């Protein structure tokens, strides 16, 4: 199958996946034995007020009619109105998702630039000190709870040493730049505000390292395992017999093929980070999607839950598509069928 035809096929499958998520989330949200109107108004609200609000939000209509209205609104870019914030869900997602995007991107960059070199070194120096140190480093990353590591780093670098700022995206005395992309570091650069950019970058370091360290652990392990498998291949032995330098053999011949499983892990990890790291965002008071979705679940805010779930499904689908496209660049011999 031609590459572009494969991309079209994947886009159609992605549309089917998102449609399935839409149906499932809608059905589950209406099967839950809970009344979101009562949860928002409180137990002391008079019945006539509850019925009035239920009618206003359309919850008194038949389920098929509610679903048809919901799908029609989504096709027109309307994800509904949040019961909790009393704003459009699409507006809420535009406000909170950029912060998660900024944090997840910084975290995955840290994971890539730490994980891949450590995985390579671990495989090349198998069963030596470098290998043991890299494996121990990845083991700690997988074993340590994220909330514990975040609290330890805050205690050390913020409370004790005072070299990094505390929770939040920006110091309270600084004025955020005009919102363009929603990503604070980018908007501050576009506004030419160096002070805000530096402060936002310093606030980003600790939460990004916490998530990046967790990502690094997985990347190290899969890169090491893949490199060990590739280094046993005959073409690698042939390259060495020809007298090529070990650096060339590792980086030019072995690494490119070994990166295919790593790309898969990176893509899936990035997708999971974009759905919102609830504990990290809570510890560092990061106004991202994870905290927004958690509050929506607690408040039984079904419109926000369904809208956020659709965004997460879209994020995962796009991450998987990007991984498939990267495969073609890493190994042109891959055939899509």
DSSP code string of 295-310: HHHHTT-HHHHHHHHH
Q: Which residues contact 198 (CB under 8 A, 6 or more apart)?
A: none
SS (H, E, C) 257-282: HHHHHHHHHHHHHHHHHHCCCHHHHH
What is the C-alpha radius of gyration for the chain, rounded to an integer number of angstroms? 24
From residue 62, alpha-carbon distances to 59, 78, 266 in Å are 8, 20, 43
Q: Which of 169, 156, 163, 159 is nearest to 207 (CA)?
A: 169
Distance CA 302, CA 215 (A): 31
Using the CB atoms, write b or e for 239-274: b if 16+ within 10 Å.
beeeeeeeeebbeebbbebbbbebbbbbbebbbbbb
The two tokens of residue 310 are: 């659709």
State the CATH architecture for 89-330.
Orthogonal Bundle (1.10)
Return the biggest CA–CA distance within the chain.
86
Distance CA 16, CA 21 (A): 9
> Contacts by 72-75 with C-beta closer than 8 Å and gap 24+?
74/22, 74/310
Q: Which residues contact 161 (CB under 8 A, 6 or more apart)?
A: none
pTM summary value:
0.83
Per-position pLDDT tens, the chain of length 337: 566 777 787 788 888 888 888 888 888 777 776 666 666 666 666 777 767 767 766 677 777 887 888 888 888 888 888 878 888 888 899 899 999 999 999 999 999 999 999 999 998 888 899 889 988 888 888 788 888 888 999 999 998 888 999 888 888 888 889 988 889 999 999 999 899 999 999 999 999 999 888 888 889 989 999 998 888 888 888 888 888 788 888 888 788 788 888 888 888 888 888 776 788 888 898 888 888 888 888 877 888 888 888 888 888 888 888 887 777 676 666 655 5
The two tokens of residue 83 are: 């019961």
> What are the boundaries of each domain within the chain?
89-330
């Amino acid at each position: 199958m031609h590459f572009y035809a494969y991309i079209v096929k994947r886009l159609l499958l992605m549309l089917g996946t998102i449609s399935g998520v839409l149906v499932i989330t809608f059905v589950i949200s209406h099967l839950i034995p809970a009344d979101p109107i009562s949860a928002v108004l409180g137990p002391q609200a008079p019945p006539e007020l509850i019925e009035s609000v239920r009618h206003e939000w359309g919850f008194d209509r038949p389920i098929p009619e509610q679903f048809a209205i919901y799908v029609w609104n989504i096709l027109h870019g309307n994800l509904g109105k949040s019961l909790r914030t009393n704003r459009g869900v699409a507006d809420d997602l535009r406000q909170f998702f950029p912060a998660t995007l900024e944090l997840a991107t910084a975290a995955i960059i840290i994971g890539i630039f730490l994980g891949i070199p450590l995985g390579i070194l671990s495989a090349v120096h198998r069963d030596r000190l470098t290998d043991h140190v890299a494996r121990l480093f990845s083991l700690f990353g997988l074993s340590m709870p994220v909330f514990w590591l975040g609290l330890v780093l805050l205690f050390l670098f913020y409370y004790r040493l005072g070299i990094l700022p505390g929770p939040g995206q920006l110091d309270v005395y600084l004025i955020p730049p005009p919102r363009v992309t929603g990503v604070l570091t980018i908007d501050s650069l576009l506004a030419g505000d160096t002070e805000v950019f530096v402060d936002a970058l310093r606030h980003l370091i600790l939460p990004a390292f916490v998530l990046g360290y967790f990502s690094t652990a997985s990347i190290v392990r899969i890169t090491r395992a893949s490199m060990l498998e590739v280094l046993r291949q005959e073409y690698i032995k042939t390259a060495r017999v020809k007298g090529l330098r070990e650096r060339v053999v590792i980086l030019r011949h072995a690494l490119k093929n070994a990166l295919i499983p790593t790309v898969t892990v990176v893509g899936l990890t990035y997708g999971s980070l974009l759905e919102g790291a609830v504990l990290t965002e809570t510890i560092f008071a990061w106004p991202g999607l994870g905290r927004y979705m958690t509050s929506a679940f607690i408040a039984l805010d079904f419109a926000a839950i369904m809208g956020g779930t659709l965004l997460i499904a879209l994020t995962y689908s796009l991450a998987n598509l990007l991984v498939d496209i990267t495969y073609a660049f890493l190994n042109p011999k891959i055939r899509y069928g």
